[in-house]
Amino acid sequence: MGSDQSSGEPDSSIALSVARQVACALLGLAFTLGVPGNLAVVWTVCRRMKAPQPTVLLIVNLAAADLLALLTVPFWIYALTGVWRLGPFVCRTLVWLVNGSMFSSVLIVTLLSAERLVALVRPFQLQRWWHLAGTRRVLVLLWVVALALAAPATLTADPSQCLQRQFSSSQQLVTLLLLETVAGFVGPFTIIAVCSACVRSHLRQLHHPGRRRASRIVTAVVVAFAVCWLPYHLSNGAAVAAELLEASSAELFEWLHYAAEVGHNISAPLAFLASCVNPLLYAFAARRIARAGGLAGLFARMVPSFYSDGAHQVAKQSFGESASGQALGLNSPNPAS
């Protein structure tokens, strides 16, 4: 993901210079915070958990996607400080990797949100069909889709600057930026928002001591996703509007094009901050047990923490209070299995 450039130089070099300094600071912050955190998640699951549950498998893939995106940060900082000298192949490969990893991250967050809702309203059905083999197949498909969605960005990468994008026509710019925004934000955000609203509504019906804390976590998921990604896709919208209005108003076209260019220089690095917070937002759901077993203990307990409210409600409705304890016991996987 990068900024777009379809016409001449911007009106104010000072504003762009400041924007690039802010971008370097945001990228440096994302790299410093995100790489160690995501490495810790991947290392813990791979080395200390022999057979992670499906939810944990989603989280480790989320951490891997975020880590892959963050490992490209030094190249983008280098590109911001001068002319790109690493060649077109390296540029297009990095553009494909960073876009693919970011699409994967967004899609996995969306899948986690949907899983959270199903775990509350259909816990036993989810336990029956959401197994490791099925999760792996879904993840393979998800990565293939993400890398396919990232492929068009390589066709528009400017090999002389790499951060900039060159479009062969206005139609290509409008099509690719709209595809990026719909597939990377509007669609996933709609699903996340609907799932989160349903989860919050469901939690209000459950007289559970931790429902307020869980509601705050669900809200944080939506807020963090919007804060990190909305500015970038608003910049995409400004670029698309500039192209559509070029014939009707030259002055409005210049203003929108300049706003999109400055906006992309700041908002694209801001999107990297999502790679720092994604794993933490879900870890907070089980933070009360973090003292037992560190990250491995937290991840082993995370699945029951998501399922227990829904399982408890279904058990009470179906079997009565005497059977609810047994149902909850069946819904708690063995951390070592």
SS (H, E, C) the chain: CCCCCCCCCCCCHHHHHHHHHHHHHHHHHHHHHHHHHHHHHHHHHHHHCCCCCHHHHHHHHHHHHHHHHHCCHHHHHHHHCCCCCCHHHHHHHHHHHHHHHHHHHHHHHHHHHHHHHHHHHCHHHHHHHCCHHHHHHHHHHHHHHHHHHHHHHHHCECCCCCCCECCCCHHHHHHHHHHHHHHHHHHHHHHHHHHHHHHHHHHHHCCCCCHHHHHHHHHHHHHHHHHHHHHHHHHHHHHHHHHHCCCCCHHHHHHHHHHHHHHHHHHHHHHHCHHHHHHHHHHHHHHHHCCCCHHHHHHHHHHHHHHHHHHHHHHHHHHCHHHHHHHHHHCCCCCCC
Do 47 and 295 contact (CB within 8 A), yes or no?
A: no
Closest to 113 in 3D by CA, of 228, 236, 224: 224
Quick check: is 118 in a domain? yes
d(CA 299, CA 137) in angstroms, rounded, equals 21
Token pair for 239: 């670029």
Quick check: is 6 in a domain? no
Closest to 184 in 3D by CA, of 112, 102, 307, 296: 102
Quick check: is 2 in a domain? no
Quick check: is 5 in a domain? no
pLDDT at 31: 92
Query: Which residues 6+ apart lie within 8 Å of 324 measured at CB?
Result: 312, 315, 316
Looking up tokens 């009470």 gives 316
Quick check: is 3 in a domain? no
Task: Work out the widest C-alpha separation in the chain, in whole angstroms.
Answer: 73
Looking up tokens 């149902």 gives 327
| Domain with 287 in it | 13-330
pLDDT at 164: 80
pLDDT at 107: 92
Quick check: is 8 in a domain? no
Number of domains in the chain: 1
pLDDT at 96: 94
pLDDT at 26: 87
Token pair for 313: 């409600």
Quick check: is 4 in a domain? no
Give me the residues paired with residue 157 across strands.
165
Do 113 and 58 contact (CB within 8 A), yes or no?
A: no
Token pair for 213: 């804390």
Do 295 and 335 contact (CB within 8 A), yes or no?
A: no
Domain of 37, CATH number, reads: 1.20.1070.10
pLDDT at 277: 81
Token pair for 186: 């509007």
Task: Please indicate, yes or no, whether the overall pTM of this predicted structure exceeds 0.85.
Answer: no
In tens digits, the chain (337 residues) has pLDDT values of 655 544 444 445 776 677 778 888 889 988 998 898 888 888 877 776 666 778 788 888 988 999 999 999 999 988 887 778 888 999 999 999 999 999 999 998 898 888 888 887 887 777 777 777 888 899 999 999 999 999 998 988 888 888 788 888 888 899 999 999 999 999 999 998 898 888 878 777 765 555 555 556 666 767 888 888 999 999 999 999 988 888 777 788 888 888 888 888 788 888 888 888 866 665 665 555 445 555 555 555 545 344 444 444 443 444 333 333 333 233 333 433 3
Quick check: is 21 in a domain? yes
d(CA 285, CA 41) in angstroms, rounded, equals 15
Do 5 and 158 contact (CB within 8 A), yes or no?
A: yes
